[in-house]
């Protein structure tokens, strides 16, 4: 099988770092594709030194099928570093590793949430690795999720091979969302500026939050949800997240936040079954007050607030009634999954 993966290489006259920027490792996650296309077409992107390898669609076989997975139903992002004699996914992973990762000093991989979910833009990386931490902070996202990533994941294995790599998660599958594209393109430019490969001043919020633990709040009962929060919201412990109702609107139970958190991701499908994930909450570091972050965001009035409002258009968000909130807080039996290392559909 011959698979031609389109790439664009931008080189400067002066030697310097080589950075890869990839998207659509999962073939249906194309917000990153939109961001890379914007960067490729930017006439003002003049490198001072080094090279950038842009790959708008890494998993072309899955992209052509509008699917997360390869035709053999394997997840390419669980197949690295791959093998030249293994499965289709393993062979593709090996070629990608040999032809791209092995030539690079740093990497940025762009993702979205999985099907029927949306993510507020966040960067993920192993913050115990000094070079990864440098990239993650330079990218300029408001939220950084600390973790190595799943076994066989692209960024985990790239880091293990000596190529510090971060990923950005943002938005939904099958979409090119303006705010997410702007966040991703801005972040790539920021990293290139930090590596002294690009001129100009970094554009990012004056604050960053590093999240070490996250959890999915899950439904105990099936029903139809009324959402009370949106992706990117900064919330407090015991704040209502969603009310579970019958199809005729009778309230059955309410879900609450188990701690001060940022809403990293959410389901976009209000019809749910028992055990289905509703909200992915990132625990705020000790000493970080939700009101303080909300104030910073209001004062900056920048891209972060814009993205929160854009993502909220995918959901109907309503205020909980005081009466129902008090009633369910007293009788609520819905439970929460245990805290652990950052979880994702990466």
- Tens-digit pLDDT profile for residues 280-320: 999 999 999 999 999 999 888 899 999 999 999 888 999 99
- Of 163, 129, 150, 184, the closest CA to residue 77 belongs to 150
Q: What pLDDT does residue 323 have?
A: 54
- Whose tokens are 């909450």? That residue is 281
What pLDDT score was predicted for residue 314? Answer: 86
Could you tell me which of 295, 133, 120, 109 has the C-alpha nearest to residue 214? 120
Cis, peptide link before residue 81, omega less than 30° from 0: yes
Helix (H) or strand (E) holding 182: helix 178-194
What 8-state DSSP symbol labels residue 47? B
Strands (E), the chain: 8-11, 14-23, 49-55, 106-111, 117-125, 143-146, 165-171, 209-211, 213-218, 223-227, 234-235, 240-245, 251-256, 261-267, 271-272, 277-283, 340-341
pLDDT at 3: 86
- B/e letters for 229-265, b = 16+ CB within 10 Å, e = fewer, are bbbbbbbeeebbbbbbbeeeeebbbbbbbbbbbbbbb
Q: How far apart are CA 322 and CA 319, in angstroms?
A: 9
Instruction: Tell me whether strands 8-11 and 49-55 are parallel, antiparallel or unpaired.
Output: antiparallel
- For 205-214, b where at least 16 C-beta lie within 10 A, e where not — what string? beeebbbebb
Q: List the chain residues with pLDDT less than 50.
A: 330-342
pLDDT for residue 333: 40
- Signed CA dihedral, 214, 78, 130, 231: sign only: negative
Using an 8 Å Cβ cutoff, are 142 and 123 in contact? no
Give pLDDT, residue 324: 55
Name which of 202, 208, 205, 207 is nearest 189 in CA terms. 202
Q: What is the model's pLDDT at position 1?
A: 76
**Residue 151 neighbours by CB under 8 Å, 6+ apart:** 78
pLDDT of residue 335: 42
Task: Supply the pLDDT for residue 337.
Answer: 42
In the numeric block, which tokens belong to residue 38?
Answer: 């914007």
pTM score of the predicted model = 0.93
């Amino acid at each position: 099988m011959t698979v031609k993966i389109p790439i664009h290489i931008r080189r400067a006259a002066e030697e310097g770092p080589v950075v890869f920027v990839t998207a659509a490792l999962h073939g249906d996650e194309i917000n990153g594709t939109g961001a890379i296309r914007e960067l490729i077409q930017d006439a003002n992107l003049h490198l001072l030194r080094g090279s950038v390898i842009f790959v708008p669609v890494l998993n072309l076989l899955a992209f052509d099928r509008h699917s997360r997975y390869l035709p053999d139903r394997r997840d390419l992002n669980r197949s690295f570093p791959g093998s030249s004699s293994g499965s289709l996914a393993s062979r593709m992973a090996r070629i990608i590793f040999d032809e791209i990762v092995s030539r690079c000093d740093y990497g940025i991989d762009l993702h979205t949430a999985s099907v029927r979910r949306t993510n507020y833009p966040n960067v993920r990386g192993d913050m115990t690795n000094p070079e990864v931490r440098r990239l993650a902070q330079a990218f300029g996202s408001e939220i950084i999720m600390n973790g190595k990533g799943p076994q066989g994941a692209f960024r985990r294995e790239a880091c293990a091979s000596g190529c510090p790599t971060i990923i950005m998660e943002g938005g939904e599958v099958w979409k090119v969302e303006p705010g997410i594209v702007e966040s991703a393109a801005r972040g790539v430019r920021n990293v290139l500026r930090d590596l002294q490969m690009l001129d100009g001043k970094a554009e990012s919020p004056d604050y960053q939050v590093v999240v070490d633990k996250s959890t999915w709040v899950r439904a105990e009962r099936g029903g139809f949800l009324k959402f009370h929060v949106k992706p990117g919201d900064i919330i407090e412990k015991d704040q209502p997240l969603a009310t579970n109702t019958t199809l005729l609107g009778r309230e059955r139970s309410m879900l609450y936040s188990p701690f001060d958190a940022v809403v990293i991701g959410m389901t976009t499908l209000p019809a749910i079954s028992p055990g289905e994930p509703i909200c992915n909450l990132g625990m705020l570091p000790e000493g970080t007050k939700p009101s303080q972050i909300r104030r910073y965001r209001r004062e900056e009035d920048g891209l972060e607030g814009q993205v929160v409002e854009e993502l909220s258009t995918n959901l109907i968000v309503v205020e909980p009634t005081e009466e129902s909130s008090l009633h369910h807080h007293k009788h609520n039996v819905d439970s929460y999954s245990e805290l652990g290392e950052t979880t994702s559909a990466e």
